[in-house]
Amino acid sequence: MKDNGKEREKVACSKYLQVTPRDISWGLAITTIGFQHTHPGDPYPLTAQPDGYNFNSYGRRTLNEYQLVYITRGKGYFESASCSRTRIEAGMMFMLFPGEWHTFAPDPETGWDDHWVGFNGGFIDDKIKSGFFTFKNCVFRVGVDERLTNTFHEIFDLVSDEKKGFQQVASSLAISLIGRLHFEDLNHAYGETYMTRIINQAKAIMQEDMAGSHPLEEIADSLGISYSFFRREFKRRCSISPGQYRLELKLAKAKELLENTNISIAEISSRLHFECIGQFSTFFKKKTGIPPLEYRKRGLKKD
């Protein structure tokens, strides 16, 4: 696929873990975590997957684990042995069960953004046996909520770092997702107004596109509204313009990279799509009162 004469970059990140009996003894263990941004017309999934995770020639697969799959942009479908073919839209999450075939994919005209986390353990087995979730009741409307996407990304970061005890913290976050799913199911959380859904979707897109490679006008267009209307409603509801919201996301990401990595200031500037180091440094100092290098040094002194 081509976009504006340039080949589009594939955005897909995933981790697959070897789970030990000790991990399982905690009650829940993470087996996989990932996310991908599928452009309209892109093949799905974007990248090859390990044995046991690939779809067959009929577009189906059967896993040996549970998974939660969260769609934050676009639309498509989901179907399983127990659940008839269901239209999936942004703000919906579905659960996959071990030993049951399923199939899902985005609409070629829209693509979609999906996050997933896989897990196994006695905790979820007990919840299924107790009837909290069933094979037929496996699709949920939870809304496009940056708190949910944050949780997926937090699990991904923990798994990527692989520090001692990461499984226990990551699995606890997965349990919070499962609890949220149950809460939304009980309370039928469908009360979002149309514009609230639009704003939440825009926030999720901006958070996924931290570098700001997609102009705000393009985001508004992808959500089916004019930019002027989008900007006015965003500011009215969030007390900040979408442009300023994106800058706050960049600032938060810059602080995170300065505090937790050894990445150079030049690389951070490039990752966040600033034109040069000088522009980034000026932006950072204006927001925090100190240059980025000084911010990093102060963080090291605290340690």
Per the structure, how many domains does the chain have?
A: 2
Q: Is residue 267 part of a domain?
A: yes
Containing domain of residue 269, as a range? 209-302
Q: Is residue 49 part of a domain?
A: yes
**d(C-alpha 92, C-alpha 15), whole Å:** 22
Name residue 38's amino acid: T
Task: Looking at the structure, tell me whether residues 182 and 298 fall in a common domain.
Answer: no
Q: b/e for 222-239, b at 16 or more Cβ within 10 A?
A: bbebeeeebbebbeeeee
CATH number of the domain within which 294 lies: 1.10.10.60
**Domain termination residue (choose one: 121, 153, 187):** 187
Residue 45's pLDDT is: 87
Q: Is residue 135 part of a domain?
A: yes
Task: Looking at the structure, tell me whether residues 46 and 167 fall in a common domain.
Answer: yes
Task: Looking at the structure, tell me whether residues 170 and 43 fall in a common domain.
Answer: yes
**Domain termination residue (choose one: 154, 187, 220):** 187
Residue 8's pLDDT is: 47
Task: Looking at the structure, tell me whether residues 156 and 238 fall in a common domain.
Answer: no
Per-residue CA distances from 212 to 111, 115, 130, 246, 270 (Å): 19, 20, 45, 7, 11
Q: What letter does residue 8 receive in the DSSP assignment?
A: P
pLDDT, tens digit (0-9, with 9 covering 90-100), for 140-185:
988 888 889 999 999 999 999 999 999 999 999 999 999 998 887 7
Q: Quick check: pTM over 0.75?
A: no
CATH number of the domain within which 15 lies: 2.60.120.10
Task: Looking at the structure, tell me whether residues 170 and 261 fall in a common domain.
Answer: no
pLDDT at 248 over 70: yes
- Under the banding of pLDDT at 50, 70 and 90, the label for residue 303 is low
pLDDT at 98 over 50: yes
Dihedral (CA of 293, 280, 239, 192) sign: negative
**d(C-alpha 83, C-alpha 101), whole Å:** 10
Q: Is residue 229 part of a domain?
A: yes
